[in-house]
């Protein structure tokens, strides 16, 4: 499930330009509209369960700001962030020296974590986009001991894009039903997107 060379180069170039233009303290550098929107996504992720003392993998960690958020709200967690843009990884290391950031794709990861998250990492258009990202979701689920959280752009709201992959929530759910024990979909927090939780065990209602 490694990215095609052309897709990887295109993504790296896109975010290099963003980082150069906006610096390492802007949500614009990771292609979010605002700091507030970014925090709204993190707020939703934080409700997946008690993250105190848990091991966490952040797929597509960008500038490491999910770690920054976690540090303000949870204690004793073990965090690893992975990203394919070397400049992002280096910037994240400088911002958050107590965290671990690695320049890698998820297919290179074989360590298990309690939770695996992807914020905005399943959206950049690549070859065979939806099928490719569905394989990534399966890998995230295999790596997780407790659960997975990821967000996606709604096809109903954004339509079909050249730059981004968009999704129908019911298609995502139907796919995840083939392997996940429990699935939760969260909407109505930001216009045009949704978050999915996947759990290894059935959760209480």
Q: What is the pLDDT of residue 75?
A: 98
**What CA–CA distance (Å, rounded) separates 203 from 82?**
28
Question: Which tens digits make up the pLDDT trace of 35-69?
Answer: 788 899 999 999 999 999 999 999 999 999 999 99
Spans of all domains in the chain: 5-199
Q: What is the pLDDT of residue 163?
A: 86
Residue of 183, 99, 204 lying closest to 141 (CA atoms): 183
Query: What CATH topology corresponds to 5-199?
Result: Rossmann fold (3.40.50)
Q: What is the pLDDT of residue 72?
A: 97
Q: What is the pLDDT of residue 204?
A: 80
Q: What is the pLDDT of residue 29?
A: 79
pTM of the model: 0.95
Residue of 9, 14, 45, 44 lying closest to 30 (CA atoms): 14
Q: In the chain, which residues have pLDDT < 50?
A: none
Q: What is the pLDDT of residue 116?
A: 98
Residue 68: strand, helix, or coil: helix
* Alpha-carbon separation of residue 38 from 27, 28, 45, 164 (angstroms): 7, 10, 11, 17
Q: What is the pLDDT of residue 46?
A: 98
Residue 141: strand, helix, or coil: helix
């Amino acid at each position: 499930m490694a990215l095609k060379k052309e897709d990887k180069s295109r993504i790296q170039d896109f975010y290099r330009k963003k980082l150069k233009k906006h610096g390492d303290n802007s949500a614009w550098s990771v292609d979010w509209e605002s700091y507030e929107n970014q925090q709204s996504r993190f707020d939703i992720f934080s409700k997946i369960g008690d993250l105190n003392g848990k091991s966490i993998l952040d797929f597509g960690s960008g500038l490491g700001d999910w770690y920054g958020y976690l540090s303000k709200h949870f204690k004793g967690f073990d965090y690893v962030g992975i990203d394919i843009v070397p400049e992002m990884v280096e910037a994240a290391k400088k911002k958050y020296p107590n965290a671990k950031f690695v320049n890698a794709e998820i297919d290179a990861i074989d360590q298990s974590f309690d939770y695996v998250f992807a914020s905005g990492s399943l959206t950049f258009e690549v070859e065979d986009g939806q099928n490719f990202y569905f394989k990534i979701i399966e890998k995230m689920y295999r790596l997780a001991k407790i659960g997975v959280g990821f967000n996606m752009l709604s096809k109903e709201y954004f339509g079909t894009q050249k730059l981004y992959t968009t999704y129908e929530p019911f298609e995502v759910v139907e796919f995840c039903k083939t392997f996940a024990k429990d699935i939760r979909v969260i909407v109505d927090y930001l216009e045009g997107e949704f978050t999915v939780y996947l759990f290894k065990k059935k959760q209480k209602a």
